[in-house]
Amino acid sequence: MSASPSATAAPAASEAGAPTASRKRGAAKRRTPPSRRGERLVGYTFMTPWIIGSLVFTVGPMLWSLYLSFTDYHLVLGGDFIGLENYTAMFADPMFARAVKVTLLYVLLAVPLKLVASLAVAMLLTQSRRGIGFYRAAFYMPSLIAMSVGIAIVWKALFAAGGPQDQFMSWFGWDGGGFIGNPDVSILMLVLLSVWTFGAPMVIFMAGLLQVPGELHEAAEMDGAGKWHRFVHITIPMLSPVIFFNVLMETVHAFQLFGPAFIIGGTAGGPAWSTLFYTVRIYALAFVDLRMGYASAWAWMLVLAVGVVTLIMFRAAKNLVYYAGEDNK
């Protein structure tokens, strides 16, 4: 017997209607309920002051400075669009090479020394001893005040000719005067100031050290591993994400150093341009020479350089950083 047309059409219609019904149910599930839409509206309302502030005080000035970098804009006289002339003039400027050299030297000296000091102190402060809270606060305190103008002035007095540093080193036959007047060593006082402010990375290292499983050290010690072996093969690998974070943040901060360098060396980067940091040169171009367009080109070149360094660090981290619980290849 042959099936009737209506009998065969009914299953076909039900099969054709099944996807449509499922799509409707899916659309109903995806439809945001009124209560959730109200929550989102409240959230965006509370975010509005931050969004407006970011657009007005961050995004807007950044875009404006990007435009100015392609002009010869003068703070008093105005300017015209000149294309890439600021960027080509920058690489021919002898002050550009000096500023880059000083900044890179500072980064290469200050960042490793600061991180080594912060890790060493963090390992001491994670031990259980009486009064450990006081020592943690005492070692962290310099990072709260070191970048202030007052500390920069005190630091300048400490390393001036005839100051405490000069008098102390004279006992060992040093006759070079204060660090401030000696272009060969003047940058060292800024490096020492940076190392003195190791509080922030120290706290982060302490948090990382407290997360290292103690049973790993106990098992290695039972196998005869010494303290140095356990530090190199257990502590450092487990701490590598924290080390990467601190290296990244301290490198970015070092490229942006301005306050102490400006107070100690001035806009000329004295003595003999030995403290002419990149940021100090940008300030001098913008607010001393009033060449805002040229200064903006310098600033965007710094942004590009820091971005490239950050990208290289993230690429290198894929092979150097160990994340517990992940398949690190």
Q: Which domain holds residue 271?
A: 85-320
- Per the structure, the count of domains in the chain is 2
Residue 217 lies in a domain: yes
Phi/psi at 71 (5° precision): -130, 170
Range from 164-173, 189-198, 299-308 that averages highest in pLDDT: 299-308
**Cα 294–Cα 297–Cα 190 angle in degrees, nearest 5:** 95
Residue 8 banded pLDDT, cuts 50, 70, 90: very low
Claim to verify: residue 94 and residue 214 sit in the same structural domain? yes
Residue 67 lies in a domain: no
Residue 182 lies in a domain: yes
Claim to verify: residue 2 and residue 114 sit in the same structural domain? no
Residue 12 banded pLDDT, cuts 50, 70, 90: very low
Claim to verify: residue 160 and residue 268 sit in the same structural domain? yes
Predicted pLDDT of residue 10: 47
Residue 36 lies in a domain: no
- 86, 294 contact by CB (below 8 A): yes
Give the global pTM: 0.84
- 152, 260 contact by CB (below 8 A): yes
* Tens digit of each residue's pLDDT (9 = 90 or more) over 65-107: 999 999 999 999 988 999 999 999 999 999 999 999 999 999 9
Claim to verify: residue 112 and residue 188 sit in the same structural domain? yes
Answer with the residue of higher pLDDT: 41 or 302: 302
Residue 240 lies in a domain: yes
Question: Is 50 exceeded by the pLDDT of residue 1?
Answer: no
Maximum C-alpha span of the chain: 119
Residue 79 lies in a domain: no
* Tens digit of each residue's pLDDT (9 = 90 or more) over 138-169: 999 988 887 778 888 888 888 888 888 888 88
